[in-house]
């Protein structure tokens, strides 16, 4: 019976992922709850990560932060340059980035919230969303099962 229940969970995991949502919080109480369909409509990019390299694809972190009115591109200057982003997974693991580090206008590496790896939807171990950072030498900040993204204004 346990095997049957486990097999059922594995079969239903991709379908359940479509029902999950992502909390995006910004300064001043701005917030949004995004579903997979909302994220699919945002600008996307690909990043190769891992050994051997795997191609991940998903919306850019900058485009997700724009939903809560985060400055981007030429508008990201002055005080917001010291703001930071906290990305949290379902297990409580979190990674921190400066806002400038997530923006392609100021930083060479691309940061995405991957929803596919090698052309297929992420499995339950990683997804439905995984943070993937181009240029990191080790995947230490690659948060799995992302549930929340917070933009904080630095003091």
Q: So what's the pLDDT on residue 27?
A: 86
Structural domain including 13 reads 2-152
Distance CA 24, CA 147 (A): 9
Distance CA 52, CA 118 (A): 12
Q: So what's the pLDDT on residue 4?
A: 38
Indicate the number of domains in the chain.
1
Lowest mean pLDDT among 7-16, 56-65, 94-103: 7-16
For residue 43, the domain's CATH number is 3.90.420.10
Q: So what's the pLDDT on residue 1?
A: 47
Q: Is 129 exposed, middle or buried (0-12, 13-18, 19+ CB in 10 A)?
A: buried
Lowest mean pLDDT among 43-47, 58-62, 136-140, 151-155: 136-140
Residue 6 has pLDDT above 60, yes or no: no
pLDDT in tens, 77-131: 998 999 999 999 999 999 999 999 999 889 888 999 999 999 999 999 999 999 9
Q: Is the dihedral of CA 102, 104, 107, 113 positive or negative?
A: positive
Tell me what the pLDDT averaged over the chain comes to: 88
Distance CA 31, CA 152 (A): 12
Distance CA 119, CA 100 (A): 29
> 144 vs 9, which has greater pLDDT?
144
Q: So what's the pLDDT on residue 68?
A: 96
Instruction: Enumerate residues 6+ apart whose C-beta is below 8 A from 121.
Output: 14, 17, 115, 127, 128
Q: What is the CA radius of gyration of the chain?
A: 16
Kindly report the pTM of this predicted structure: 0.85
């Amino acid at each position: 019976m346990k095997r049957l229940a486990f097999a059922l969970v594995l079969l239903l995991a991709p379908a359940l992922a479509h029902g999950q949502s992502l909390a995006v919080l910004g300064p001043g109480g701005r917030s949004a709850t995004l579903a997979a369909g909302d994220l699919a409509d945002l600008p996307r990019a690909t990043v190769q990560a891992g050994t051997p390299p795997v191609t991940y694809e998903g919306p850019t972190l900058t485009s997700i932060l724009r939903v809560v009115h985060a400055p981007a591109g030429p508008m990201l200057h002055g005080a917001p340059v010291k703001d930071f982003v906290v990305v949290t997974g379902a297990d409580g693991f979190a990674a921190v980035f400066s806002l400038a580090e997530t923006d392609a206008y100021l930083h060479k590496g691309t940061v995405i919230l991957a929803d596919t790896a090698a052309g297929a939807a992420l499995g339950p171990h990683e997804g439905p969303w995984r943070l993937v950072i181009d240029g990191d030498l080790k995947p230490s900040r690659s948060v799995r099962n992302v549930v929340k993204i917070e933009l904080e204004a630095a003091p």
